[in-house]
């Protein structure tokens, strides 16, 4: 049975979370019990933890829905510009605890649940639905599922809308009626397959017809929804400008998250020209002023290039619109650069070849008023390389918007101990203005503060070590360096470099077993796309190395290698606060930004990394001397590309690298299948685009610096404090404010919507 919070613990939670006092505990208990009894029809004699979870979810929902409805009323009354962020995938994390924190209910819920002996659970969806129509070669209904997204202590609850494909009720009913039941069911499944499984797009474009249907499905449903809302505005019925769409870009902003929703551009043109009967030039002006595009990758294989024949089959009208867009675009380029045929070829939306393909990134650039990368180095590469020709034509169109993370989830929720000691020293303003963390620099030499920061880290490591053991993983030494690399498994992220270093450490211990070594627990986590053979081999290598290292008695607890299975947001919330070292080791110039690097920094992990993605800006903010930076810079990589990269040169010159590679190749880590990693070794030796061997020596030496500093806990923790203090730039609040002002044309508002218990707005409807 859980023990109620002590008065001291209550005060700490209140101060950390900025939550109102405990006066609501009785109300929470009453509502909780009401839902347990009347919604779930259970009492405590038969209720399961799942029942308690749903009773809590319903209780929190009761506090949420009033704010959600009030937010929509407020938007209807004020008629502000609305921003629609179109993405094919969202990694939201669990919602329930985040909602309790943002609504100011966490402490009251904690205490109420302790008093009724239930355990705190997380995650909830609330959903409402209605249907609208869209067409491919047949009719499919798009049913919205809405999830509330509450702001932090401001009573605003916005909406994340997901779409589910449903077959119409009359779908091939005639087949069913004449007895062809199987055909009727198969046709229905084909329609609903559109949203049943999302193709995992892991920086590699795979031109599958179902994926194209998915992309059009979400775009078509969303645009119909946007236009319905635009026309049904409070002022729409008496404003002829609404029906002419003159004010559409002043009331609607559409942000395209990568090229997956690129079809929004021809779809909006189709609606404006074919349905609303606007002339082409006016429709194009409206479309361009409404849409903006965020690029997320510089890898050429990740950029979507759809075969023309697929559009001819599925979306013939959209193909004609794209042809028209391309013709007008090329006419403009030809006028600016007369006779430059090669430039026209490079900038065309249609790539000649067998088959002809539509370059969706080019479509996004041409059809948007703003194009941005997600870290300064990435945005510079976008302008100088990926879209160089387009930047020369429209330089003012290109911007940078460095990614950010929310400190509410990635500090307050996942690391309350660290948040607490920040609150004690500088107050809680940093939760909404992360730059306030700079104030902790005044305590960088304060022994008590250093001790508190180190204590929180050690407590988090002990918790995660227990979690690993509880879930069947290896028993780890909590005094070791928790060396963590968690991200999608991909060659450019270079988990292989990390693995080679782990093998090198193992060989050093075996060579000198009596020598003193700084203990280290190497944790690598992430998922591989189902069809990505090399990524799966990388995972297999990590687990195989772990199997040997972790069971070698000569190594003991000085080194462990662990693959974190089923990596997801909820696991990240556990491992990131426990990490000592954050691995950000992609080849310079390949990582767009990264956000894991920011989460680790905010939670007190030091970074070992290349000058790539947002790590460059982290080094600028904290000082390069406070990160472990190694390896080639972008200019070095470009120079190596010109000269040619020869992996064997490093293999022959570096004995420790040669030994590690030879062990993998000989089957030392896969004795039952010696040639298991043949393809992986062949890639590393003969066609490694990401130059793992070229950075191996610098990486190993940099890791030696890590070990030396770790032996001095005071200096290590002082560097941790400097990193936390420098993490203010990487708040998503800053990121979204920049998008709002510089792309969407809206001013962020500090207006706090009146709560539901105050008189409602007067409605004219």
Residue 752 appears among annotated catalytic residues: no
Q: Tell me the C-alpha distance between 175 and 187, whole Å.
A: 10
Nearest CA to 610 out of 695, 495, 736, 512 is that of 695
| Rounded Cα gap, residues 696 and 693, in angstroms | 5
**CB 183 within 8 Å of CB 283:** no
Rounded-to-integer distance, Cα 691 and Cα 703, Å: 18
Q: Is 701 a catalytic residue?
A: no
Q: Tokens for 472, please give them.
A: 């069947």
User: Which member of 35, 369, 493, 501 is catalytic?
Assistant: 493
| 673 phi-psi bin (left φ>0, alpha ψ -120 to 50, beta other) | beta
Identify the active-site residue in 488, 658, 689, 734: 488
* From 59, 297, 595, 735, the catalytic residue: 595
Helix (H) or strand (E) holding 482: strand 481-486
Answer left, alpha or beta for residue 600, where phi above 0 means left and psi between -120 and 50 means alpha.
alpha
Q: Which of 305, 540, 599, 722 is catalytic?
A: 599
> Out of 357, 401, 487, 520, which one is annotated catalytic?
487
Contact 725, 441 (CB under 8 A): yes
> Can you say whether the dihedral through the CA atoms of 605, 610, 611, 614 is positive or negative?
negative
Q: In whole angstroms, what separates CA 412 from the centre of its chain?
A: 19
Q: Is 296 a catalytic residue?
A: yes
Q: Which token pair is 252? A: 């609607």
CA dihedral 738, 739, 744, 745 (to 10 degrees): 0
Residue 712 is classified by DSSP as -
For residue 707, which phi and psi values (nearest 5 degrees)? -60, -40
Name residue, tokens 């119909």.
224
- Phi, psi torsion values for 82, nearest 5 degrees: -105, 140
Counting beta carbons within 10 angstroms of the beta carbon of residue 177, is it exposed (0 to 12), middle (13 to 18) or buried (19 or more)?
exposed
Q: Of these residues, 82, 234, 296, 527, which one is catalytic?
A: 296
What's the length of the chain?
765
Q: How far apart (Å, rounded) are the C-alpha atoms in residues 34 and 661? A: 63
Tell me how far apart the alpha carbons of residues 31 and 33 are, in angstroms, rounded to a whole number: 5
The residue behind tokens 């929004």 is 264
Report the distance separating Cα 81 and Cα 229, nearest Å. 11
Could you list the active site residues?
A: 296, 487-488, 493, 595, 599
């Amino acid at each position: 049975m859980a023990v109620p919070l002590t008065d001291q613990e209550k005060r700490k939670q209140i101060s950390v979370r900025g939550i109102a006092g405990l006066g609501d505990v009785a109300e929470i208990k009453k509502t909780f019990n009401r839902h347990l009894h009347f919604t779930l029809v259970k009492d405590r004699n038969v209720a399961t933890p799942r029942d308690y979870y749903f009773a809590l979810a319903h209780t929190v929902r009761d506090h949420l829905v009033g704010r959600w409805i009030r937010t929509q009323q407020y938007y209807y009354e004020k008629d502000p510009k609305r921003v629609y962020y179109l993405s094919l995938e969202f990694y939201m994390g669990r919602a329930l605890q985040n909602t309790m924190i943002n609504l100011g209910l966490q402490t009251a819920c904690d205490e109420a649940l302790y008093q009724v002996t239930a355990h705190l659970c997380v995650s909830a969806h609330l959903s409402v639905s209605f249907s609208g129509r869209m067409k491919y070669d047949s009719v499919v209904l798009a049913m919205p599922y809405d999830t509330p997204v509450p702001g932090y202590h401001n009573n605003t609850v916005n909406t994340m809308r997901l779409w589910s494909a449903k077959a119409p009720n009359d779908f091939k009913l005639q087949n069913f009626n004449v007895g062809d039941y199987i055909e009727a069911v198969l046709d229905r499944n084909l329609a609903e397959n559109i949203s049943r499984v999302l193709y995992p797009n892991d920086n590699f474009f795979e031109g599958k017809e179902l994926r194209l249907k998915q992309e059009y499905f979400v775009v078509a449903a969303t645009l119909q929804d946007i236009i319905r809302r635009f026309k049904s505005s409070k002022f729409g019925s008496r404003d002829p400008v609404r029906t002419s769409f003159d004010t559409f870009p002043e009331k609607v902003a559409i942000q395209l998250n990568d090229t997956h929703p690129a079809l929004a551009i021809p779809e909006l043109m189709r609606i404006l020209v074919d349905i609303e009967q606007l002339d082409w030039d006016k429709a194009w002006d409206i479309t361009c002023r409404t849409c903006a595009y965020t690029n997320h990758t510089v890898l050429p294989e990740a950029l979507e290039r759809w075969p023309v024949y697929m559009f001819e089959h599925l979306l013939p009208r959209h193909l004609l619109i794209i042809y028209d867009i391309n013709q007008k675009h090329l006419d403009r380029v030809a006028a600016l650069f007369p006779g430059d045929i090669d430039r026209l070829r490079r900038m065309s939306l249609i790539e000649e070849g067998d088959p002809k393909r539509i370059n969706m990134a080019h479509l996004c650039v041409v059809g948007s008023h703003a194009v941005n990368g997600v870290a300064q180095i990435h945005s510079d590469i976008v302008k100088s390389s990926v879209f160089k020709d387009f930047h020369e034509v429209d330089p003012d169109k290109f911007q940078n918007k460095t990614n950010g993370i929310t400190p509410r989830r990635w500090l307050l929720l996942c690391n309350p101990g660290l948040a607490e000691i920040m609150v004690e020293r500088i107050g809680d303003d940093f939760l909404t203005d992360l730059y306030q963390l700079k104030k902790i620099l005044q305590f960088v030499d304060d022994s008590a503060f250093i001790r508190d920061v180190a204590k929180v880290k050690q407590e988090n490591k002990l918790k995660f070590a227990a979690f690993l053991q509880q879930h069947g993983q290896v028993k780890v030494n909590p005094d070791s360096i928790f060396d963590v690399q968690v991200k999608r498994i991909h060659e450019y992220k270079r988990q292989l470099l990390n693995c080679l270093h782990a093998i090198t450490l193992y060989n050093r211990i075996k060579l000198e077993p009596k020598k003193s070594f700084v203990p280290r627990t190497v944790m690598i986590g992430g998922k591989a796309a189902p069809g990505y053979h090399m990524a799966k081999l990388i995972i297999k290598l990590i687990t195989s190395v772990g199997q040997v290292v972790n069971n070698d008695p000569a190594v003991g607890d000085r080194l462990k290698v662990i693959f974190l299975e089923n990596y997801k947001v909820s696991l990240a919330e556990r491992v990131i606060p426990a990490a000592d070292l954050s691995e950000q080791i992609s080849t310079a110039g390949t990582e767009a930004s990264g956000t894991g690097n920011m989460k680790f920094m905010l939670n007190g992990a030091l970074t070992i990394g290349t000058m790539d993605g947002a790590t460059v800006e982290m080094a600028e903010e904290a000082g390069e001397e406070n990160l472990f930076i190694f390896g080639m810079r972008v200019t070095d990589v470009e120079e190596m590309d010109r000269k040619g990269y020869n992996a064997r040169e490093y293999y022959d010159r570096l004995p420790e690298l040669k030994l590690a590679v030879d062990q993998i190749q000989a089957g030392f880590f896969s004795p039952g299948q010696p040639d298991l990693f043949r393809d992986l070794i062949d890639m590393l030796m003969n066609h490694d685009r990401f130059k793992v061997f070229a950075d191996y020596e610098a990486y190993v030496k940099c890791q030696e610096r890590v070990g030396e500093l770790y032996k001095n806990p005071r200096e290590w923790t002082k560097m941790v404090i400097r990193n936390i203090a420098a993490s203010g730039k990487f708040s998503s609040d800053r990121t979204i404010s920049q998008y709002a002002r510089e792309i969407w044309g809206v001013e962020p508002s500090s207006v706090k919507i009146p709560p539901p218990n105050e008189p409602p707005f007067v409605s004219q409807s």
